[in-house]
């Protein structure tokens, strides 16, 4: 049976007349609940997306903050390290490194002609025992060298209580210009023994016919090549080609001058200024260095002479530190006028000035009798202890403040 609704044969063949088949499947009906669930799902997705973005921004800020904190901490550490290095370098003392001796001159020839008239030798020649010894006047120097090395010459001088001019000049020149170390040492021991032999009245127990003076000692230093102005000449000196130092005789020279200054005799006034001059030649070259403090404080204060010498050396070391200063009052006035609060103030030099002033004042017996100096020094100490705060981290600030405070307390309660 033919269905009237079926397409005709030609209609099946004509593509234009074909009608698409109708999908008879029913579409699902979307309810209100479904729409609400979809809304919640979209909201949750949006919140998750926003949360991820917020976390990303948070991590980014934390990274930036962490980098900033690290940079700030690094700067603080570097600053502390720099300050610690400055504080740790306060005790550093540079080497002397300044040549004090230049080219040496040839030693003068030793003259023994005066020994032929020496009474000491004549007594040996005229003695009956000389027939065994066969001592000749022409060999006087060799004979004296033997007596000197064995210690008999010193004993003979003490028995006679007399040193003749010929023996004194021979012993002095041999000590300073002999190339034999044994003779240098023995003649120096000979002089030191004589100069240290004093009686109860403080006078020498041995009469000395001849004694060296300033010119004789100065001549020896000139021959040794000592540079009396070596602080300025050291700049032009070639250290690679400069000599290794003074001759061995300089040890005997220093021992002899020291014995002269320690001995109690009338010629002391001639040698103390010379020894002071020699010490100052060494100290003035390092007046801006901690070594100058050590050079001053190495002078013993056991005796009154040692105290005076330390005070004089410290005073002479302070004078060149200030232009146009010629007295103790001017030194203290210059020190008190320094502005310690100024950040550009060189506290390293101020520490050196303080220690030098301390040694000058404390070792000076006449200081207590001078109320002007006493008041000026106390004012200077008060500036050093009060104008530098406890929070001042500059190098040597605490050292100056603490030392000045202690000295000020010492002087006030003295």
Q: Dihedrals φ, ψ of 240, to 5°? A: -70, -35
Q: Dihedrals φ, ψ of 366, to 5°? A: -85, 0
Strand-pair partners of 207 = 162
Query: Half-sphere exposure (CA, 13 Å, Cβ side) for 7?
Result: 12
Q: What one-character DSSP code corresponds to residue 138?
A: G
For range 23-33, the mean pLDDT? 57
Do you know the residue count of the chain? Answer: 414
For range 56-80, the mean pLDDT? 67
Confidence of residue 92 (pLDDT cuts 50, 70, 90): low
Confidence of residue 42 (pLDDT cuts 50, 70, 90): confident
Q: Is the pLDDT of residue 188 over 90?
A: yes
Confidence of residue 115 (pLDDT cuts 50, 70, 90): confident
Q: Dihedrals φ, ψ of 127, to 5°? A: -75, 150
Confidence of residue 189 (pLDDT cuts 50, 70, 90): very high
Q: Please report the pLDDT score of residue 122 as a whole number.
A: 73
The tokens describing 39, both together, are: 């809304």
Q: Please report the pLDDT score of residue 160 as a whole number.
A: 86
Supply the DSSP string of 300-369, one letter for each residue.
--SSHHHHHHHHHHHHHHHGGGSTT--SHHHHHHHHHTS-TTSTTS-HHHHHHHHHHHHHHHHT-TTGGG
- In the block, which residue shows the tokens 């000692």? 217
- CA 288 to CA 84: how far, in whole Å? 23
Q: Is the pLDDT of residue 183 over 80?
A: yes
In sequence order, the 6+-apart residues with CB closer than 8 A to the CB of 217 are 253, 257, 271, 274
With contact defined as beta carbons under 8 Å apart, do 167 and 120 qualify? Answer: yes
Query: Half-sphere exposure (CA, 13 Å, Cβ side) for 82?
Result: 7
Q: Please report the pLDDT score of residue 334 as a whole number.
A: 92
For range 70-84, the mean pLDDT? 73
Q: Is the pLDDT of residue 227 over 50?
A: yes
CA nearest neighbour of 341 among 387, 281, 304, 286: 387
When mean pLDDT is compared over 137-141, 144-148, 242-246, 250-254, the highest value belongs to: 250-254
With contact defined as beta carbons under 8 Å apart, do 209 and 164 qualify? Answer: yes
Q: Dihedrals φ, ψ of 386, to 5°? A: -105, -35
Q: Dihedrals φ, ψ of 267, to 5°? A: -85, 10
Query: Half-sphere exposure (CA, 13 Å, Cβ side) for 141?
Result: 13
Confidence of residue 178 (pLDDT cuts 50, 70, 90): very high
In sequence order, the 6+-apart residues with CB closer than 8 A to the CB of 136 are 125
Q: Dihedrals φ, ψ of 235, to 5°? A: -65, -30
The tokens describing 22, both together, are: 């109708």
Q: Is the pLDDT of residue 353 over 80?
A: yes
With contact defined as beta carbons under 8 Å apart, do 207 and 163 qualify? Answer: yes
Q: How do residues 199-224 score in pLDDT, each as one tens digit?
A: 766 678 888 999 888 788 889 988 99
- CA 114 to CA 107: how far, in whole Å? 19
């Amino acid at each position: 049976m033919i269905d009237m609704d079926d397409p005709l044969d030609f209609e099946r063949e004509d593509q234009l007349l074909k009608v698409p088949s109708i999908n008879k499947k029913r579409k699902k009906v979307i309810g209100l609940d479904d729409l609400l669930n979809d809304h919640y799902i979209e909201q949750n997705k949006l919140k998750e997306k926003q949360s991820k973005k917020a976390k990303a921004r948070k991590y980014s800020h934390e990274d930036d903050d962490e980098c900033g904190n690290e940079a700030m901490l690094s700067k603080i550490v570097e600053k502390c390290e720099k300050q610690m290095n400055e504080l740790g370098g306060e005790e550093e003392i540079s080497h002397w490194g300044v040549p004090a001796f230049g080219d040496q001159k040839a030693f003068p020839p030793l003259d023994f002609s005066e020994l032929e008239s020496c009474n000491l030798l004549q007594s040996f020649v005229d003695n009956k025992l000389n027939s065994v010894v066969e001592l000749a006047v022409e060999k006087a120097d060799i004979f004296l060298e033997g007596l000197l090395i064995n210690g008999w010459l010193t004993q003979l001088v003490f028995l006679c209580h007399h040193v003749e001019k010929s023996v004194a000049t021979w012993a002095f020149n041999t000590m300073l210009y002999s190339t034999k170390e044994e003779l240098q040492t023995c003649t120096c021991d000979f002089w030191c023994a004589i100069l240290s032999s004093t009686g109860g009245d403080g006078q020498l127990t041995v009469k000395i016919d001849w004694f060296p003076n300033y010119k004789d000692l100065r001549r020896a230093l000139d021959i040794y090549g000592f540079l009396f102005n070596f602080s300025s000449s050291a700049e032009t000196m070639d250290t690679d080609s400069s000599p290794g130092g003074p001759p061995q005789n300089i040890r005997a020279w220093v021992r002899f001058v020291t014995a002269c200054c320690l001995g109690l005799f009338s010629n002391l006034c001639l040698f103390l200024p010379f020894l002071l001059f020699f010490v100052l030649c060494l100290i003035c070259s390092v007046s801006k260095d901690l070594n100058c403090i050590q050079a001053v404080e190495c002078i013993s204060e056991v005796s009154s002479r040692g105290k005076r010498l330390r005070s004089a050396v410290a005073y002479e070391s302070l004078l060149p530190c200030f232009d146009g200063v010629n007295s103790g009052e001017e030194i203290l006035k210059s020190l008190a006028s320094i502005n310690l609060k100024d950040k550009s103030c060189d506290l390293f030099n101020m520490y050196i000035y303080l220690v030098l002033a301390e040694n000058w004042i404390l070792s000076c017996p006449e200081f207590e009798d001078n109320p002007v100096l006493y008041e000026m020094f106390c004012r200077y100490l008060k500036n050093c202890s009060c104008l530098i705060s406890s929070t001042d981290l500059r190098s040597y600030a605490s050292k100056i403040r603490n030392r000045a405070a202690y000295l000020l307390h010492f002087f006030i309660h003295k």
